[in-house]
Structure 1
Amino acid sequence: MNVRNGTDRDAGELYKCFKSLGFDVFIYNDQTCEKMEHLLREASEEDHSDSSCFACILLSHGEEGMIYGTDGAMPIKTMTSMFRGDMCKSLVGKPKLFFIQFSAETATQDHNEMSSHLLHQACRGSEFDDGIQTDSGPPNDTMETDANPRHKIPVEADFLFAYSTVPGYYSWRNPGRGSWFVQALCNVLNEFGKQLEIMQILTRVNYMVATSFESWSEDPRFSEKKQIPCVVSMLTKELYFN
């Protein structure tokens, strides 16, 4: 696979950010598919009884439903299914967070609030988002549910997936600053990570990516494009990092 310029910046910022939130952070670079599966299987088989949350961040080339190692692609579902309630008992009823930033090469540029640099597209699809003039508002309150160990819960419960873009669309990355999604995620977590609930945090991330960034290129096909992250939540309780 091609070098993902800017990914080291993303990884470094994410390390500092999640470390400050109380996570034990481990970084693994340039892994084969077999090695990625092995590392996640090891993590799923650990005893997480003393942990309150698990987070996995994937920074790689990819496409819808698939992620690339150094030697090919594998289904994201293969990686996440190891943490299902019937596979990872010590994380039952606990939040399992997956943040997924895909990247691929293209010769386009970034035009955000202060910079214009070479950018790279992401591969979750082939469509571009041209943007539209509109207003947006804050999210409504979320519902909190109590876990009862005597009740069954779905094996897919308590997962959250935060994708850098919606299915079918490109996302963007600045080789000097990192990806738009990770920049926004770290900015919001650094400022509000110990104050706001996770869905409030990710709503602010969505807003920042949607309003603070726009692509620029001499090729009009790649210019003035927008991006919106995508959050899929199966959480059953509110989550605060404090």
Structure 2
Amino acid sequence: MDCVGWPPGRRWHLEKNTSCGGSSGICASYVTQMADDQGCVEEQGVEDSANEDSVDAKPDRSSFVPSLFSKKKKNVTMRSIKTTRDRVPTYQYNMNFEKLGKCIIINNKNFDKVTGMGVRNGTDKDAEALFKCFRSLGFDVIVYNDCSCAKMQDLLKKASEEDHTNAACFACILLSHGEENVIYGKDGVTPIKDLTAHFRGDRCKTLLEKPKLFFIQACRGTELDDGIQADSGPINDTDANPRYKIPVEADFLFAYSTVPGYYSWRSPGRGSWFVQALCSILEEHGKDLEIMQILTRVNDRVARHFESQSDDPRFHEKKQIPCVVSMLTKELYFSQ
């Protein structure tokens, strides 16, 4: 929704591969880079201006966080133990697995007429940027386009039933229209909780105590942010074999593009504010900063660097702030 459009640069052509979970699946191994002058697919909804931002909500809705005396030999032993522990800190998730994990991107652009939802122009730019960004981190990325509610449920249920024993974590990115607590499939709405519940600790055992990350680009209501001017201990059965329970909702992280009740902004020419900021920060610091540090910087980037531009005064010069809900129990670094 900025005034000046960016040059198109290079695009990625995502080829369909039926072996990747359906005709809408797209695998990393089937991605080829193509120049803009070599037949890139044009965005739908060309009537939308690339300079005017949109919101992921219904079009008719306009109302609007050791002892000093220890012997030398003992000191050497203590230092040795400390060094060993530092190699795998207990306060960090263990990322030393064969794979980083799977990343599923659900990119809903077109919607059935009955939903009353418009084409989400700019979302393909988000999907392409996220594909390249998460693949560069080490994820196995698959993109699915224009999924129905049943298809979204089926995709995530099957993903939760896969064997993630050799994976460090799991990520899912939802790009669609939305309202509070729900997200749109191409044919209607489905509760976000129903999609994420497949990965609870009691249902997806191979991801138990591993981070499960959900990034959601969608509106969560119809409010608009005008902005304001500002100056610059486990219980053990035995000592030898400790057993403990993990809350089934633990180790989840939800990164929403906006706070509850508010619109989420998207530029048809450049993609959504949240995804632009997320990809930018991940490219800069994805392998050296902890996930909450990354998302805090994303919050700052969106809050300070974006402001809507619209011919409709009701939607002009509006702001946005993402929202992170974390049930992670350890620090998360994508680097191994």
Scaled by the length of structure 1, the TM-score of the pair is: 0.85
Q: Does 2:186 align with 1:70? A: yes
Q: How does 1:25-36 map to 2 (within 5 A)?
A: 25-36=141-152
Gaps of at least 5 residues in structure 1 are 103-122, 137-147
Q: Give the counterpart of 2:276 among 169, 177, 183.
A: 183
| 1:160 correspondence with 2:253 | yes
- Greater CA radius of gyration, 1 or 2? 2
Deviation at 1:125, TM superposition (A): 0.8
CA gap of 1:163–1:212, structure 2 versus 1, over 3 A, is: same
Given candidates 201, 204, 226, the residue that maps to 2:319 is 226
Measure the CA separation in 2 of the matches of 1:155 and 1:235: 12
Aligned to 2:222: 126
Amino acid at match of 2:278: L
- Helix, strand or coil for the counterpart of 1:5? coil
The one-character-per-residue Cα deviations of 1:181-209 (angstroms, maximum 9, x if unpaired) are 00000000000000100000000000000
Aligned 1:91-240 pairs, distance under 5 A: 91-102=207-218, 123-134=219-230, 150-240=243-333
Q: Deviation digits for residues 73-129 of structure 1, max 9, x if unmatched?
A: 111111000000000000000000000001xxxxxxxxxxxxxxxxxxxx3111111
For residues 312 and 272 of structure 2, the distance between their equivalents in structure 1, rounded to whole angstroms, comes to 21
Q: Distance in 2 between matches of 1:77 and 1:28?
A: 19
Distance 2:314 2:299 in 1: 24
The answer for the alignment partner of 1:11 in structure 2 is 127
Other-structure match for 2:196 = 80
Query: What secondary structure, in the 3-state scheme, does the structure 1 residue paired with 2:221 have?
Result: coil
- Residue 218 of structure 1 and its aligned partner are, at CA, apart by 2.7
Measure, in 1, the Cα distance between the counterparts of 2:177 and 2:227: 24
Name which of 102, 124, 139 aligns with 1:23.
139
Question: How many residues align structurally?
Answer: 211
Q: Classify the secondary structure of the residue corresponding to 1:52.
A: strand
What's the secondary structure of 2:216's corresponding residue? strand
* Partner AA of 1:127 in structure 2: E
Match of residue 171 from structure 2: 55
Shift of 1:27: 0.4
Distance, in Å, in 1 between the alignment partners of 2:278 and 2:174 is: 14
- Name the amino acid aligned to 1:126: T
Name the CA distance, whole Å, in 1 between partners of 2:309 and 2:271. Answer: 16
Q: Between the two proteins, what is the percent identity of the paired residues?
A: 75
Q: CA RMSD in A?
A: 1.4
> What is the CA-CA distance between 1:217 and the residue it aligns to?
1.9
Structure 1 residue 149: Cα displacement: 7.1
SS in 2 for 1:218: coil
The alignment partner of 2:209 has SS state of coil
Displacement, 1:135?
A: 6.0
**Alpha-carbon shift at residue 14 of structure 1 (Å):** 0.2
Q: TM-score, normalised by structure 2?
A: 0.61
78-87 or 60-69, larger mean C-alpha shift: 60-69
Q: What SS does the corresponding residue of 2:320 show, helix, strand or coil?
A: coil
